[in-house]
Amino acid sequence: MIKKVLILLILSSLPLYAQVIPPVEVKVGSGELSTAIRILLLLTVLSLAPSILIMTTSFVRIVIVLAILRQAIGIPQVPPNQVIISLALFLTFFIMKPVFDDINRNALQPYIKEEIKDEEFFNRVSERMKKFMAVHTKKTTLDVFLEAAKLPKEEMEKIKKPTDIPLRVLIPSFLVSEIATAFEIVFLLYIPFLIIDIVVASILISMGILMIPPQIISLPFKIMLFVLANGWELVILSLVRSYQ
């Protein structure tokens, strides 16, 4: 399953580089890419697969929330970075499964069966990824990047739906929106732990205990509160539902 998802991820990212790389005429008589160009694109995408995963999926929001959650609890090194990245990666595959299934059904399988050409395959994959990113992109952020891009008037008039937005505009808008949403989630998660720190610090000051850092006393209480409330399950469930 993971292997299939990785293949879909690699293939789905090809339209991005088709828009970033300067236009080069690579078509032959039948309208298909030559074998050499296909190999070149595949090697390029393989080398940049981590960046593609970050740019076009839910990975950014998940990893930011999980990483800052450690800071809120007061144990910035636990869980270790490898665990946080691995959990974020598999949650990304879990959340993106409907998108990958759609790409597999409507783009990859027809392409393998030679029912569609290269250009049509790229268009179908690009449209599906654009739909996902547009749904989770804030309109205000998108407007800012559309203004910054200074698109020609003719190109702006053609934008009637999410799939009409150029990837060079939609991807940074999506990334900024994901970061903003992640910080909003973290703010709400931080409040209960901050209250515990304030209460413990107030109690220690009232008792005249000033030599012991409040974090040492509050840490067990924060861990106990998080465990008793099934914190990891609630956080993960909230992240998954935020994409539904």
| Residue 124 host element (H or E) | helix 118-135
Output the pLDDT for position 131: 85
Output the pLDDT for position 167: 78
Q: Is 157 exposed, middle or buried (0-12, 13-18, 19+ CB in 10 A)?
A: exposed
Output the pLDDT for position 15: 47
Rounded to 5°, the CA angle 244-10-164 comes to 60
| Calpha distance 195→71 (Å, rounded) | 14
Provide the H-helix boundaries in 74-166. Answer: 81-103, 109-112, 118-135, 139-149, 153-157
Output the pLDDT for position 25: 43
Output the pLDDT for position 27: 45
CB atoms within 10 A of CB 46: 11
For each successive 10 residues of the chain (244 residues), what is the average pLDDT?
Answer: 46 45 42 62 70 82 88 80 87 86 82 76 81 85 80 71 78 88 87 83 77 75 82 85 81
Output the pLDDT for position 31: 45
pTM for the predicted model, two decimal places? 0.73
Output the pLDDT for position 14: 46
* Residue type, position 229, single letter: A
Output the pLDDT for position 30: 45
Say if residues 52 and 9 touch (Cβ distance below 8 Å). yes
Say if residues 102 and 124 touch (Cβ distance below 8 Å). no
| Calpha distance 129→122 (Å, rounded) | 11
